[in-house]
Structure 1
Amino acid sequence: MKRVVVGLSGGVDSSVAAYLLQQEGYEVIGLFMKNWHDDSVTISNECPWLEDSNDALLVAEKLGIPFQTVDLSEQYQEKIVDYMFNEYEKGRTPNPDVLCNREIKFDVFMKIALSLGADFVATGHYCQKSETEIEGKTVYQLVAGADVNKDQSYFLCQLSQEQLSKSLFPIGALTKPQVREIAAQMELVTAEKKDSQGLCFIGKVRLPEFLQQKLQPKEGAIIQIYKDHPIYQQDDKSGLTVEDSLRIEATKIAYTPEMGKFMGNHKGAHYFTIGQRKGLNVGGTKDPLFIIATDVITNTVYTGLTSHHPGLFKKALRILKDEVHWVRDDLALINGETLEVMARIRYRQPLQKAILHQFENEMFISFEEPQSAITEGQFAAWYLGEELVGSGVIS
């Protein structure tokens, strides 16, 4: 009988995952990860980890499985929170959920599970795993969840073959309503529980307040750039190499305050991200202002009117060589190779037609259609059909 450790989060998805594994004959152990102590930055009681751990305990009791809590807050602080502060300080926008899976759930947590004699770690993610054989070797595939509205494969885009080999996703073939129905039939306390929102394990956070713990507020200018500014005229790329022309497409525009109109002040450029519309507190424009760029060195925020502003759109993005990650390392490209894929630059974005271009020190993704708010520090993930095969940090 194979032993599985389930990361019981106190939510309905992991509860049903544990039940299904039990039905399949696995020996199931429930572990709750406590990763956060500081309630001062969470909004009201949106992330009551105590309530979550109690719910996880009640589910374990109902299923008759062993249960314990593991405190990973030190590792979480070091690998996720400190990383987030560093990224925001550099003017990038990190994705803590992707990191949390790579660094905590499928690394620190997985090692604890394996030390308890587990054969596998299971989570309540909406994604699927399959296997294929290539040249006599088992290759693990990360496949989108059956529920199109809930597919969470993107959040696992940094997993390795080693991590996938030890992972199970019991609810990946189900839809959310089916999961809730099973929980209700089993009379699990989590059956009607709302999905958790916000940061992985921290819950809903007031981001500026969260960041103000380390990054001090400092006043800077908000500048509006007009959509017909000459900077948006297309450059002539004839005579350039493919790599150079892609680099131009992917490079962010170097705005200066003289290019636009002063609109007011903000409390710190590192609190804002590209594509953001709320939080500027600037009135007097007939259309909403969107952030098109931030400069943390000069502490300036650049904006443009409407979601169609040309400053929001780019046709290509760049990933540094050492930040390209292949879930399917057998598919990795070498210098000069290209691959047609479907890609997304954020969770829940519909997949976009794109081409990967691998060069010696970098990879570019060129999109068929211009993409809005390509954001440094976020992850781009690429798929062949339903299978997520690789990802990288947008640079």
Structure 2
Amino acid sequence: MKRVVVGLSGGVDSSVAAYLLKEQGYEVIGLFMKNWHDDSVVISRECEWVEDSNDAMMVAEKLGIPFQTVDLSAEYKERIVDYMFGEYERGRTPNPDVLCNREIKFDVFLKIALSLGADYVATGHYCRKDVISKDGKDIYRLLSGADRNKDQSYFLCQLSQEQLSRTLFPVGELTKPEVRAIAAREELVTAEKKDSQGLCFVGKVRLPEFLQQKLKPKEGVIVEVPVSAEQYDRAVPQFVSAEEELAYYARKPHYTPGDGKVVGKHQGAHYFTKGQRKGLNVGGTAEPLFVIDTDVDENIIYTGQGKDHPGLFRKALFITEDEIHWIREDMALAVGQSMDVMARIRYRQPLQKAGLHKVSKGMYVVFDEPQSAITEGQFAAWYDGDELIGSGVIS
């Protein structure tokens, strides 16, 4: 009987994951991760870890499986929260959920599970895994969830072969309504519970207040850049090499205050991210203002009117060598090689046609269609059909 430790989060997905594994004959242990102590930045009581922990415990009791809580808040602070603060300080926008999976659930948590004699860990993620044989070696494939509306493979884009080999995704073949129906049938307390919307395992957090703990408010100006700015009207130069052309399309425009007019004030450029519309508090424009760039050194936010503003769009992005990650290491590109893929630059974005181009210092991802709000610090993930094969941090 193989032993599986399930990360019971107090939500319906992990509850049903535990139920399914028990039905399949595994020896199941439920483990709740406590990752946060500071309630001062959590805005709603609906997400508090105490309530989640109680729900997880009641599910374990109902299923007749052992249950315990592990406190990973020190590791979470060091690996996720401090990293987030550092990234925002640099003017980048991190993705804590991707990091939480790589650093906490499938690293610290996995090691705890293995120390308990587990063969696998399991989570309630909507994705699938299978194994193929290549050159006499097992290769694990991370596949999109059967429920296209809930597919969470993107959040696991930084996992390794070693991590995947030890992981099970019991709800990956199901749709969300099917999962809720199973929970209701088995009278699990989480059957009707709303999905959490907060930071991974922290709860519903007010991000500016969260950031203000470390990044002090600092007044700066909001500059509106018109569609007619010269950055958007330059002729495409002649390129001496393919790499020079790639770099040209991946480069973001450089703005100075003289490129537009001051339309308002803000309390810190590091609280804002590309593509953001809320929180600017600037009225009187024909169309809503969107953030097109932030300059944390000069503490200036550059904005443009409307979701079609040219400052929002770019055709390519670059990932530095040390930030490229291949789940399928056997498919990794060598310098000079290219590959056609489907890619996304954020969760829930429909997959986009793109090409990967490997160069000596990293890799370019070039999209068939220009993409809105390509944001440094976020993860680009690329797929071959249903399979997520690699990812990297947008530089």
TM-score calculated relative to the size of structure 2: 0.99
- Write the distance in 1 (CA, Å) between the matches of 2:315 and 2:236: 15
2:331 aligned partner: 331
Describe the superposition over 1:141-200 as per-residue Cα deviations: whole angstroms up to 9, x where unpaired: 000000000000000000000000000000000000000000000000000000001210
Contact 2:98 2:157 in 1 (8 A): yes
1:306 aligned partner: 306
What is the CA-CA distance between 1:273 and the residue it aligns to?
Answer: 0.3
- Write the distance in 2 (CA, Å) between the matches of 1:269 and 1:240: 37
- Write the distance in 2 (CA, Å) between the matches of 1:171 and 1:308: 38
What is the CA-CA distance between 1:203 and the residue it aligns to?
Answer: 1.5
Written as runs of structure 1 = structure 2, the 5 A alignment for 1:75-154 is 75-154=75-154
- Write the distance in 1 (CA, Å) between the matches of 2:161 and 2:257: 47
Q: Work out the percentage of aligned pairs sharing the same amino acid.
A: 71
Output the amino acid matched with 1:301.
Answer: I
What is the CA-CA distance between 1:234 and the residue it aligns to?
Answer: 4.0
- Write the distance in 2 (CA, Å) between the matches of 1:168 and 1:381: 21
- Write the distance in 1 (CA, Å) between the matches of 2:238 and 2:134: 42
Unmatched 5+ residue regions in structure 2?
none
2:363 aligned partner: 363
- Write the distance in 1 (CA, Å) between the matches of 2:374 and 2:139: 31
What is the CA-CA distance between 1:229 and the residue it aligns to?
Answer: 1.1
Q: Tell me the SS of whatever aligns to 2:339.
A: strand
- Write the distance in 2 (CA, Å) between the matches of 1:237 and 1:66: 65
What is the CA-CA distance between 1:224 and the residue it aligns to?
Answer: 0.3
Q: 2:344 aligned with 1:344, yes or no?
A: yes
1:282 aligned partner: 282
Q: 2:384 aligned with 1:384, yes or no?
A: yes
- Write the distance in 2 (CA, Å) between the matches of 1:183 and 1:206: 31
What is the CA-CA distance between 1:124 and the residue it aligns to?
Answer: 0.2
2:375 aligned partner: 375
- Write the distance in 1 (CA, Å) between the matches of 2:329 and 2:335: 15
1:187 aligned partner: 187
- Write the distance in 2 (CA, Å) between the matches of 1:225 and 1:45: 40
- Write the distance in 2 (CA, Å) between the matches of 1:100 and 1:109: 10
- Write the distance in 1 (CA, Å) between the matches of 2:234 and 2:14: 50
Describe the superposition over 1:67-107 as per-residue Cα deviations: whole angstroms up to 9, x where unpaired: 00000000000000000000000000000000000000000
Deviates more, 1:199-208 or 1:158-167: 199-208
- Write the distance in 2 (CA, Å) between the matches of 1:388 and 1:120: 21
1:170 aligned partner: 170
Q: 2:235 aligned with 1:238, yes or no?
A: no
- Write the distance in 1 (CA, Å) between the matches of 2:184 and 2:32: 22
What is the RMSD computed on CA atoms of the aligned residues?
0.7
- Write the distance in 1 (CA, Å) between the matches of 2:297 and 2:358: 31
What is the CA-CA distance between 1:44 and the residue it aligns to?
Answer: 2.7
- Write the distance in 1 (CA, Å) between the matches of 2:316 and 2:236: 16
What is the CA-CA distance between 1:245 and the residue it aligns to?
Answer: 1.3
1:46 aligned partner: 46
2:317 aligned partner: 317
Describe the superposition over 1:336-390 as per-residue Cα deviations: whole angstroms up to 9, x where unpaired: 0000000000000000000000001110000000000000000000000000000
2:14 aligned partner: 14
Contact 2:227 2:310 in 1 (8 A): yes
Q: Tell me the SS of whatever aligns to 1:93.
A: coil
Describe the superposition over 1:310-336 as per-residue Cα deviations: whole angstroms up to 9, x where unpaired: 000000000001100000000000000
- Write the distance in 1 (CA, Å) between the matches of 2:27 and 2:198: 32
Q: Tell me the SS of whatever aligns to 1:28.
A: strand
Closer/same/farther in 2, CA of residues 356 and 191 from structure 1, 3 Å limit: same
Q: 2:296 aligned with 1:296, yes or no?
A: yes
Q: Tell me the SS of whatever aligns to 1:348.
A: coil
1:266 aligned partner: 266
2:24 aligned partner: 24
What is the CA-CA distance between 1:47 and the residue it aligns to?
Answer: 2.1
Q: Tell me the SS of whatever aligns to 1:76.
A: helix
Contact 2:239 2:245 in 1 (8 A): no
- Write the distance in 1 (CA, Å) between the matches of 2:46 and 2:328: 37
What is the CA-CA distance between 1:240 and the residue it aligns to?
Answer: 2.7
Unmatched 5+ residue regions in structure 1?
none
TM-score calculated relative to the size of structure 1: 0.99
